[in-house]
């Protein structure tokens, strides 16, 4: 019996404990080193677990990268032997557009500020040309900055561009002319149409877009630009399925009747999605595929990419299955306009929905009369 | 005989030791325990110093006498006698609303201001407390003692009280950062602007988006922290859960403090588009 306890004296136990303590310390150090090394994050990324973003405020990182870009740009202008500037990016890896505190003083900065105001509250700051309750910012979130929401910094460097919609090379102003005509439903505005080319509204918006694109390489397609396409699903789209998706995910803000919420002071809190205050039948968003892309990547607000592709298609078809202001290009019959302007697109224009052909359009006066 | 064979003592192993021999605890096991202990001790010390820094940063509440909220509030008597009794005196073993939320529903620190809050929002919270979808031991106890009519009346009562904001920044948050998150958001972290849903002056949007302006900053912070940690889960569509999880503790403090600076008279603060 005594043989079993031969090496278990108090001194030996202390020695063993000391050794264990030392190994423990080594284990702890190894653990800490592993945790703070990249390998841990790489492993987490490899198995598909979300790795927390760095703790620094997103804006701070973006601003630091922008400052570095400006410094490198100035150095490069003096000496081409130094490294050319990088495109500034944020913590998400996408382009970092300037923040409002970078708006310069002087006439150009004033134009940028006016453009920003028009962009964020079109019915108020471009009242003359606004025919509904929509603002640019409704589809171009974060004041035209958000990735996958057709950010201005992604769009501006791509113009002039040939567009199939009007079969000509479009300047950035031509493009905005289209936005006012269709998305802002300018035919119903006090002016009766969009601002004429060269109008101050365009100059201000263009100044804002140009300023937001500071640091982008002209002509290049940047990641995060536009609305990414969503693949067609096997089931196709169905507005009746979409009604359920809408009730569960959209009605909280846009309300069950799709009319959104307008504050007492007139500010549009949640934009109307159909009816006379929405974009008209000629707008890109009236096409189900475009609406699907926008919804999939941006809605519900702050929860982009949480709906399935199927849900996004269905709910987009639901939203675009209601009447909205008429397509201003329609001169003859609805069927003529469908053949000419809507033939190969994914929309319900001129088609039967809930037993009725839709696309004739609704206006503020017709709705008020009902 | 077979029996005898079994009783043959000569076959018994005389060296058999019925007790488990002493075996030392494996060295590696003690080592792992040691490393965990080191980790634990360091974490504890770290938390302790952070907490101390945090406490020392909190601005002491002004010692100046302030007018009681009840003297500035309007609408304190606008309810049935039964409802006013619940508010002021409680019922049986259930304490009154005013005992924690103040005589005018002005709240204090982590107890929220109720005065002027949206009625639909207040009702939903009471129902959620009762049903256990929002956690708070005090409020669960109270809500279980209320019937649905009483909840309606209490929600309506607090919603109609008019009381100017009585709070300011108290958490030493970065107010400029708070302004940025409130009015512009931080989309690189997928955090939208507060005002995008809660109204251009954070004055609340019926029926689901509560008033944030003038709320007790400690309360706003504590709720963001609860969503961040997964301790509160009754936000519709998990909107606030995900937004709070994308926010850093510094951002939460900044935004809680900034929202406390916003006025409640309906006049929008500067910089609102």
What residues 212-241 of chain A have any CB closer than 8 A to a CB of chain B? none
Pairwise CA distance, residues B133 & B127, whole Å? 8
User: d(Cα A68, Cα A88) in Å, to the nearest integer?
Assistant: 8
Comparing CB atoms, the residue among A62, A252, A302 nearest residue B242 is A302
Residues forming a β-bridge with B111: B108
Are A302 and B192 within 8 A, CB to CB? yes
Q: What is the mean pLDDT of residues A209-223?
A: 96
Which of A276, A261, A260, A239 lies closest to A364 in space, CA to CA? Answer: A276
pLDDT above 50: residue B271: no
Q: Which residues in B lie closer than 8 A to residue A31 (C-beta atoms)? A: 35, 39
Task: Read off the pLDDT of residues B99-119 as tens digits, 9 standing for 90 and up.
Answer: 999 999 999 999 999 999 999
Last residue of a domain, one of B160, B187, B221: B160
d(CA A154, CA A169): 18
With 80 as the cut, is the pLDDT of residue A41 above it?
A: no
The verdict on B77 and B126 lying in the same domain is yes
For the beta carbon of residue B181, count every other beta carbon within 10 angstroms: 26
Mutate to test the interface with B, among A1, A17, A20, A121 (most CBs of B within 10 A): A20
Question: What is the tens place of the pLDDT at every residue in B129-148?
Answer: 999 999 999 999 999 999 99
Mean pLDDT value of segment A10-37: 86
How many residues appear in chain A? 370
Which of A287-301, B15-29, B246-260 bottoms out in mean pLDDT, i.e. has the lowest?
B15-29
SS (H, E, C) A291-357: HHHHHHHHCCCCCCCCCCHHHHHHHHHHHCCCCCCCCCCCCCCHHHHHHHHCCCCCCCCCCEECCEE
pLDDT over 60 (residue B270): no
Asked whether residue B177 is domain-assigned, the answer is yes
Is it the case that residue B53 has pLDDT exceeding 70? no
pLDDT at A224 over 60: yes
Predicted TM-score of the model (pTM)? 0.80
Of B155, B43, B98, B53, whose CA–CA distance to A31 is shortest? B43
Find, in chain B, the residue whose alpha carbon is nearest to that of A298.
B190
Question: What mean pLDDT comes out for the span A246-257?
Answer: 97
Asked whether residue A56 carries a pLDDT value surpassing 60, the answer given is no
Q: Where are chain A's structural domains?
A: 97-212, 239-369
CB-count exposure of residue B67 (10 Å: 0-12, 13-18, 19+) = exposed
Q: Do B34 and A58 touch (CB under 8 A)?
A: no
Instruction: Check CB contact of A256 with chain B, cutoff 8 Å.
Output: no
Q: Residue B24: its chain A contacts at CB < 8 A?
A: 8, 16
Task: Kindly state whether residue B63 falls inside one of the protein's structural domains.
Answer: no
Task: State the pLDDT at residue B1.
Answer: 47
Q: How far is B67 from chain A (nearest CA, A)?
A: 32
Share of chain A above pLDDT 70, in %: 92
Q: What is the pLDDT of residues B159-209, one digit of tens each?
A: 999 999 989 999 999 999 999 999 999 998 899 999 999 999 999 998 999
Query: A97-212 — its CATH code?
Result: 1.10.760.10
Instruction: Answer yes or no: is pLDDT of B63 > 50.
Output: no
Cβ–Cβ gap A28/B35 under 8 Å: yes
- Nearest chain B residue to A52, by CA: B246
**Do residue A20 and residue B236 have CB atoms under 8 angstroms apart?**
no
Q: Does B192 touch chain A (CB under 8 A)?
A: yes
pLDDT in tens, A71-84: 999 999 999 999 99
Q: Is residue A3 pLDDT above 90, yes or no? A: no
Statement to judge: residues B172 and B255 lie in one domain: yes
pLDDT surpasses 60 at A49 = no
Q: Which token pair is A306?
A: 């949480």
Beta carbons within 8 Å of B230's beta carbon, 6+ residues apart: B241
Domains A97-212 and A239-369 in one fold: yes
Best probe of the B interface among A13, A28, A208, by most B CBs < 10 A, is A28
Contact B27 A23 (CB under 8 A): yes
Burial of B8 (0-12, 13-18, 19+ CB in 10 A): exposed
Q: What is the distance in angstroms between the Cα of B26 and the nearest Cα belonging to chain A?
A: 9
pLDDT at A227: 96
> At which of B143, B160, B177 does a domain end?
B160
**How many structural domains compose chain B?**
2
**Residue range A239-369 in CATH 3.40.640.10:** no
- pLDDT average, residue stretch A283-311: 96
pLDDT of the residue at A5 = 47
Out of B27, B190, B208, whose CB is closest to A302? B190
CATH of residue B234's domain is 1.10.760.10
With pLDDT > 90 as the criterion, what percentage of chain A qualifies?
78
Query: Which of A4, A91, A301 is facing B22, going by the closest CB pair?
Result: A4
pLDDT at B143 (0 to 100): 95
- Using the Cβ of A143 and the Cβ atoms of chain B, whether some distance falls under 8 Å is answered with yes
Question: Which residues 85-104 of A are in CB contact (within 8 Å) with B?
Answer: 90-92, 94, 96, 100
pLDDT at A215: 95
CB contact (8 A) between residue A58 and residue B237:
no
Cis peptide before B218 (omega within 30 of 0): no
Chain mean pLDDT for chain A: 91
Domain, as residue range, for B234 = 168-261
Q: CA B255, CA B221: separation in Å to the nearest integer? A: 8
Distance CA A321, CA A126 (A): 29
- The verdict on residue B39 lying in a domain is no
Whole-angstrom distance, CA of residue B134 vs CA of residue B140: 8
pLDDT attached to residue B6 = 63
A64 CB neighbours in chain B (<8 A) are none
Specify if B20 maps to a domain.
no
Digit-coded pLDDT (tens) for B77-99? 999 999 999 999 999 888 899 99
Q: How confident is the model at residue B211 (pLDDT cuts 50, 70, 90)?
A: very high
Average pLDDT over chain B, rounded to whole?
Answer: 87
Q: How far is A241 from chain B (nearest CA, A)?
A: 19
CB atoms B180 and A59 under 8 Å: yes
At A366, the pLDDT band (50, 70, 90 cuts) reads confident
In the block, residue with structure tokens 């009604």: A243
pLDDT of A369: 67
Instruction: Among A10, A148, A302, pick the best mutation site for testing chain B contact (most B Cβ within 10 A).
Output: A302
B204/B253 same-domain check:
yes
How many contacts (CB atoms, under 8 Å) link A and B? 120
Percent of chain B having pLDDT more than 70?
Answer: 88
Three-state helix/strand/coil letters over chain B: CHHHHHCCHHHCCCCCCCCCCCCCCCHHHHHHHHHHHHHHHHHHHHHHHHHHHHHHHCCCCCCCCCCCHHHHCECCCCCCHHHHHHHHCCECCECCCHHHHCCCCCCECCECCCCCCCHHHHHHHHHHHHHCCCCCHHHHHHHHCCCHHHHHHHHHHHHHCECCCCCCCCCCCCHHHHHHHHHCCEHHHCECCCHHHHCCCCCCECCCECCCCCCCHHHHHHHHHHHHHCCCCCCHHHHHHHHHHCCCHHHHHHHHHHHHHCCCCCCCCCCCC
In a domain, B193, yes or no: yes
d(CA A123, CA A132): 7
- Give yes or no for a contact between A204 and A114, defined as CB atoms under 8 angstroms apart: yes
Mean pLDDT for the stretch of residues A200-211 = 98
ipTM over 0.85: no
Q: Are A100 and A242 in contact (CB under 8 A)?
A: no
Tell me the C-alpha distance between A239 and A245, whole Å.
9
- Choosing from B160, B176, B193, the residue where a domain stops is B160
Among the listed residues A157, A156, A159, the one whose alpha carbon sits nearest the alpha carbon of residue A170: A159
Please give the residue of chain A at the shortest CA–CA distance from B245: A52
B184 and B143, same structural domain? no
State whether B192 and A58 contact (CB < 8 Å). no
Average the pLDDT over each of A308-322, B195-209, B254-268 and give the range with the smallest value.
B254-268
From chain B, the residues in CB contact with A302 under 8 A are: 190-192, 239, 242-243, 246
- So what's the pLDDT on residue B58? 53
Which chain A residue is nearest to residue B17, measuring alpha carbons? A1
Nearest to B189 among A53, A100, A253 (CB): A53
Q: Quickly state the pLDDT bin for B70 (edges 50, 70, 90).
A: confident
Whole-number percent of chain B with pLDDT over 90: 69
Tell me the three state secondary structure of residue A167.
coil
pLDDT of residue A51: 47
pLDDT digits (tens, 9 = 90+) for A154-176: 999 999 999 988 889 999 999 99
Q: Which residue has the tokens 């890109």?
A: A284
Nearest chain B Cα distance for residue A43, angstroms: 22
Q: CA separation (Å) from A58 to A41, A285, A305, A318, B173?
A: 19, 30, 20, 35, 17
Q: What is the pLDDT of residue A4?
A: 46
CA distance B24 to A305: 56
Work out the minimum CA distance from A168 to partner chain B, whole angstroms.
35
- pLDDT at position B9: 76
pLDDT at position B219 over 90: yes
The lowest-confidence range among A89-93, B124-128, B151-155 is A89-93
Instruction: Report phi then psi at B94, rounded to 5.
Output: -90, 125
The answer as to whether B1 is a domain residue is no
CA dihedral (B127, B129, B131, B133) in degrees, to 10, reads: 110
């Amino acid at each position: 019996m005594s043989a079993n306890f031969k090496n278990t004296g108090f001194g030996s136990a202390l020695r063993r404990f000391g050794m264990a303590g030392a190994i423990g310390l080594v284990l702890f150090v190894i653990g800490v080193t592993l945790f703070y090394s990249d390998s841990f994050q790489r492993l987490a990324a490899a198995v598909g677990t979300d790795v927390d973003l760095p703790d620094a405020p997103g804006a701070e990182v973006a601003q630091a990268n922008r400052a570095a870009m400006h410094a490198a740009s100035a150095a490069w202008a003096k000496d081409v032997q130094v490294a050319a500037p990088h495109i500034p990016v944020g913590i998400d890896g996408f382009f970092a557009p300037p923040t409002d505190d970078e708006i310069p003083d002087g006439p150009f900065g004033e134009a940028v500020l006016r453009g920003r105001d028009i962009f964020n509250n079109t019915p108020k700051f471009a009242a003359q040309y606004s025919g509904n309750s929509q603002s640019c910012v409704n589809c171009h979130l974060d004041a035209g900055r958000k990735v996958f929401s057709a950010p201005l910094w992604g769009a501006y460097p791509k113009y002039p561009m040939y567009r199939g919609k009007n079969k000509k090379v479009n300047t950035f102003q031509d493009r905005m002319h289209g936005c006012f005509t269709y998305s802002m439903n300018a035919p119903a505005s006090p002016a009766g149409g969009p601002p004429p080319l060269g109008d101050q509204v365009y100059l201000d918006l263009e100044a804002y877009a140009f300023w937001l694109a500071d640091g982008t390489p002209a002509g290049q397609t940047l990641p995060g630009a536009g609305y990414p396409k969503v693949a067609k699903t096997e089931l196709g789209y169905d507005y009746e399925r979409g009604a359920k998706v809408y009730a569960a995910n959209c009605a909280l803000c846009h309300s069950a009747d799709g009319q959104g919420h307008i504050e007492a002071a007139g500010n549009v809190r949640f934009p109307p999605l159909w009816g006379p205050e929405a974009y008209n039948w000629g707008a890109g968003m009236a096409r189900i595929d475009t609406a699907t892309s926008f919804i999939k990547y941006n809605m519900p607000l702050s929860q982009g990419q949480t709906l399935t592709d199927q849900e996004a298609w269905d709910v987009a078809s639901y939203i675009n299955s209601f009447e909205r202001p008429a397509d201003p290009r329609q001169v003859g019959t609805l069927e003529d306009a469908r053949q000419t302007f809507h033939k190969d697109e994914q929309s319900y224009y001129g088609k039967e929905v809930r037993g009725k052909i839709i696309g004739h359009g609704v206006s503020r006066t017709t709705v008020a009369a009902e | 005989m077979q029996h005898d064979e079994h009783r043959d003592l000569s076959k018994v192993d005389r060296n058999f030791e019925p007790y488990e021999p002493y075996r030392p605890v494996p060295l590696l096991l003690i080592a792992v325990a040691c490393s965990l202990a080191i980790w634990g001790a360091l974490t504890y010390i770290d938390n302790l110093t952070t907490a101390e820094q945090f406490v020392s940063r909190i601005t002491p509440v002004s010692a100046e006498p302030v007018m009681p909220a009840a003297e500035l509030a309007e609408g304190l008597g606008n309810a049935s006698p039964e409802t006013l009794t619940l508010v002021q005196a409680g019922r049986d073993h259930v304490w009154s609303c005013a005992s924690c939320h103040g005589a005018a529903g002005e709240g204090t620190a982590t107890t929220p201001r109720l005065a002027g809050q949206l009625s639909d929002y207040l009702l939903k919270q009471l129902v959620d407390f009762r049903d256990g979808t929002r956690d708070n031991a005090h409020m669960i106890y109270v809500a279980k003692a209320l019937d649905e009519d009483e909840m309606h009346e209490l929600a309506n009562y607090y919603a109609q009280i008019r009381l100017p904001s009585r709070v300011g920044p108290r958490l030493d948050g970065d107010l400029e950062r708070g302004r940025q998150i409130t009015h512009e958001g931080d989309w690189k972290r997928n955090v939208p602007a507060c005002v995008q849903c809660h109204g251009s002056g954070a004055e609340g949007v019926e029926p689901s988006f509560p008033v944030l302006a003038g709320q007790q900053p400690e309360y706003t912070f504590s709720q963001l922290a609860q969503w961040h940690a997964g301790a509160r889960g009754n936000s519709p569509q998990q909107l606030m859960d995900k937004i709070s999880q994308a926010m850093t503790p510094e951002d939460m403090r900044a935004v809680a403090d900034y929202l406390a600076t916003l006025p409640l008279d309906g006049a929008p603060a500067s910089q609102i588009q």
